[in-house]
Structure 1
Amino acid sequence: MSRIHEALKKAEQERAASQGGPVPSNFSGAESPVTEPRVIDADTAARVAAVAPAVSAHASPGLPPFGSPFSLETMLARCAAVQWSPDPKTMLFLNGDDNARGSEEFRTLRSRLYQIREKMTLKKILVTSALPKEGKSFTAANLAQVMVRQHGRRVLLIDADLRGPRLHLMLGTSSAPGLSDYLQGANDEFSIMQRGALENLLLIPSGCEVSNPAELVANGRLKFLLQRVEPLFDWIIIDSPPAVPVSDASLLANSCDGVLMVVRSNATPVDMARKARQEFPDKVLVGVVLNGTSADTEAYSRYYYGAYEKRGTEAKA
């Protein structure tokens, strides 16, 4: 049985538990220890200078030259400081309540990702779903927020859903300039970044509406952008379009280290979840988030996490 199928079955088990049925024996309410990652500073960013000429020489046609790597100080000085007005119903860590419903599950998810990172390279995470309205943007935004709650961690949150962007609405900010403007060559990386309500959390919103999102995502500029900014962040969280209806998510995954799949309890069809997984044949599935379980069963964990896995190594029933 695949990890995604197990996640969907989890909802049925939780409902049984809320009605007096057995509680899953492998659940632990305690958060796993968090391995402290190395804090990346301006000196680290400067070390990429030695490899800049090689990257520039192999850049895709039409891309700007790599140029000199910029420092953390340069990035923070040039990106916009914006007053966000976050939605308190969806942004769990921006409402002043450290114990908001669902917050503990995100802390557990954070711990699991750090555990996975001990075994593989994991910094750039694509958050996607099979279909729309399953909670991928909610998951991406709150995962980014819980990451920066740890002292010294720096996170870049990118809204790469150019078809139905939601992050700017959740965070209460403007959507432009943003990623689409950079991908079209209209803006540089500094002008599309926002600093908002949380220190060390930067946002690249979706940008202006475009008619050719798949072509923009595939033009090579996203990889160039990530090469530029990756040394300055501990995590880069990318919100993508749903995987089944359009090809954007599989294209975006080529620039990421792993995929986090969101499925909605009592909503995501099993065949659609499996089809979504098939869109990433060469990418590590770092986990499955089961979203939208009832409040009555939250004590048994609102989210389900599969161990990191590559296609072809999933457990068989």
Structure 2
Amino acid sequence: MSIIENALKKASSQGLIEKNKSDNVLKHSDDLSFVVENNDCNPVNEDDSLISKDNQVTINWEALAAEGFIDHNDTKSQLAEEFRVIKRPLVNNIQGGEVNGISRPNLILICSSLPGEGKTFVSINLALSIANELDKSVLLIDADVERPSVSRQLGIKQSPGLIEYLENDKINFSDILLKTDLSNLNVIPAGKRHKYSTELLSSQRMYLFAEEVSRRYKDRVVIFDSPPLLVATQAQILAELVGQVVLVIAAEETPQNVVNESISKLANCDVVMTLLNKTKKELDLYGYNYGYGKYGHS
């Protein structure tokens, strides 16, 4: 039984969840503030109806491009093409779903072994690239709650985020959800610093949150930007919640033994992919040359 299933079973025994007779709907009491159900609703439209004007943000695209991220106005750039290659196996795994034995394939964790390897750079660019898919929406979650970078890079001001949601059962999902001016991209910031952030990320409420966003929104890709694996235990906790993990490795910087240690910590994950970052060499992928020299600006 998975850690999610254990959490759901425990919640059910405590009366936090009611299961209806048709077994198709899991309803959470008001203090958990969301419903898990099998339906075909449009998540973007549903979220839009709940997001207040205060939670709608405009990304500074010029500043983002100046930092080396994908240029919103240049979809044919080399970097944009590189991330088309990077995202394809991830998207294919999502479309294959649990048929291929991957639990929660639409939840993707981006991590690294150590700080400075470029995981936030990859997280944001991957989110931007997938958001341009015709049938996908993206929820980018800053789960690096000790050193959050997503909001800073996107020019988002301090606002309630994941930590507030996990700490306070009166905070709803829509309270922390930020709608960007890219129609298929929403963001959840990390929120405030908290001395028990690790315990909050390993809480039952976090498990239920991950289950909800995975089950309810089948066409949504949820990308978690996590802390480095070997610096904090939080990344390993988050890895247990997702179906796919991307381990970012700084070329010619990260020692092989460090990479091996990180991979060992991800041994129980369904899918672990590695992304070689900051290399200045040209890589021949499927007959095309892609240079990854721009990576690592996070």
TM bin, normalised by shorter chain, reads 0.7 to 0.9
User: What SS is found at the alignment partner of 1:198?
Assistant: coil
What is aligned with 2:32?
Answer: 64
Structure 1 position 66, deviation (Å): 5.0
User: What SS is found at the alignment partner of 2:65?
Assistant: coil
Paired with 1:102 and 1:65, the residues of 2 have a C-alpha distance of 39
Structure 1 position 282, deviation (Å): 0.8
Contact 2:141/2:188 (CA < 8 Å) preserved in 1? yes
What is aligned with 1:77?
Answer: 49
Paired with 1:288 and 1:154, the residues of 2 have a C-alpha distance of 24
Aligned length in residues = 249
What is aligned with 2:10?
Answer: none
User: What SS is found at the alignment partner of 2:88?
Assistant: helix
Say whether 1:170 aligns with 2:149. Answer: no
- The one-letter amino acid paired with 2:198 is A
CA distance 1:115–1:67, shift in 2 (3 Å): closer
Structure 1 position 298, deviation (Å): 6.0
Say whether 1:159 aligns with 2:131. Answer: no
What is aligned with 1:209?
Answer: 193
**Aligned partner of 1:52 among 23, 26, 30:** 26
Structure 1 position 96, deviation (Å): 0.9
- The one-letter amino acid paired with 1:297 is E
**Aligned partner of 1:103 among 55, 66, 80:** 80
User: What SS is found at the alignment partner of 1:95?
Assistant: coil
What is aligned with 2:180?
Answer: 196
What is aligned with 1:38?
Answer: none
What is aligned with 2:290?
Answer: 301
Could you report, residue by residue, the CA deviation over 1:28-50 in whole angstroms, capped at 9, with x for unpaired residues?
xxxxxxxxxxxxxxxxxxxx983
Structure 1 position 74, deviation (Å): 3.5
CA distance 1:261–1:77, shift in 2 (3 Å): same
| Structure 1 outlier segments of 4+, above 4 Å | 65-71
- CA-atom RMSD in angstroms: 2.6
CA distance 1:285–1:152, shift in 2 (3 Å): closer
User: What SS is found at the alignment partner of 1:190?
Assistant: helix
What is aligned with 1:308?
Answer: none
> Which structure: greater strand fraction?
2
What is aligned with 2:221?
Answer: 235
Instruction: After TM superposition, list the pairs within 5 Å mapping 1:283-294 onto structure 2.
Output: 283-294=269-280
User: What SS is found at the alignment partner of 2:127?
Assistant: helix
Paired with 1:150 and 1:74, the residues of 2 have a C-alpha distance of 19
Paired with 2:132 and 2:32, the residues of 1 have a C-alpha distance of 35
Could you report, residue by residue, the CA deviation over 1:92-136 in whole angstroms, capped at 9, with x for unpaired residues?
445311133422111011212233343343211111000001011
User: What SS is found at the alignment partner of 1:174?
Assistant: coil
Say whether 1:137 aligns with 2:114. Answer: no
Gaps (5+ residues) in structure 1?
A: 1-47, 304-317
Structure 1 position 199, deviation (Å): 0.8
User: What SS is found at the alignment partner of 2:153?
Assistant: helix
- The one-letter amino acid paired with 1:116 is N
Paired with 1:171 and 1:139, the residues of 2 have a C-alpha distance of 13
CA distance 1:248–1:223, shift in 2 (3 Å): same
User: What SS is found at the alignment partner of 1:290?
Assistant: strand
TM-score, L = length of structure 1:
0.71
What is aligned with 1:89?
Answer: 66
User: What SS is found at the alignment partner of 1:106?
Assistant: helix
Could you report, residue by residue, the CA deviation over 1:216-267 in whole angstroms, capped at 9, with x for unpaired residues?
1011222222333332243111111000111001111121112110001111
What is aligned with 1:21?
Answer: none
Paired with 2:147 and 2:93, the residues of 1 have a C-alpha distance of 30
Report the identity percentage. Answer: 26
CA distance 1:273–1:175, shift in 2 (3 Å): farther
**Aligned partner of 1:224 among 208, 226, 230:** 208
Contact 1:153/1:234 (CA < 8 Å) preserved in 2? yes
Contact 1:52/1:66 (CA < 8 Å) preserved in 2? no
Paired with 1:76 and 1:49, the residues of 2 have a C-alpha distance of 28
Paired with 1:74 and 1:116, the residues of 2 have a C-alpha distance of 25
CA distance 1:68–1:302, shift in 2 (3 Å): same
User: What SS is found at the alignment partner of 2:174?
Assistant: coil
